[in-house]
Amino acid sequence: MRPVPHLIDRRSRLGEYAMSFMVPLFLLRTIDPLLALLAATVLTGFYVRQTFGRPEGHLVHLAYRLGVPLTGLLDRRVQRYVP
pLDDT at 68: 83
* CA quadruple 75, 77, 80, 83: dihedral sign: negative
Domain span holding position 33: 14-65
Residue 41 within any structural domain of the chain: yes
CA–CA dist 27, 23 (Å, integer): 6
Residue 42 within any structural domain of the chain: yes
pLDDT at 70: 78
Residue 82 within any structural domain of the chain: no
Residue 37 within any structural domain of the chain: yes
Report the number of distinct structural domains present in the chain.
1
Residue 54 within any structural domain of the chain: yes
pLDDT at 8: 61
Residue 5 within any structural domain of the chain: no
Residue 76 within any structural domain of the chain: no
Q: Along the 83 residues of the chain, how does pLDDT read in single tens digits?
A: 677 666 666 667 777 778 777 877 777 777 777 888 888 888 888 888 888 888 887 888 888 888 888 777 777 777 776 76
CA–CA dist 61, 4 (Å, integer): 35
pLDDT at 9: 62
The answer to whether residues 35 and 26 touch, using CB atoms and an 8 Å cutoff, is no
Entry pTM: 0.57
Residue 8 within any structural domain of the chain: no
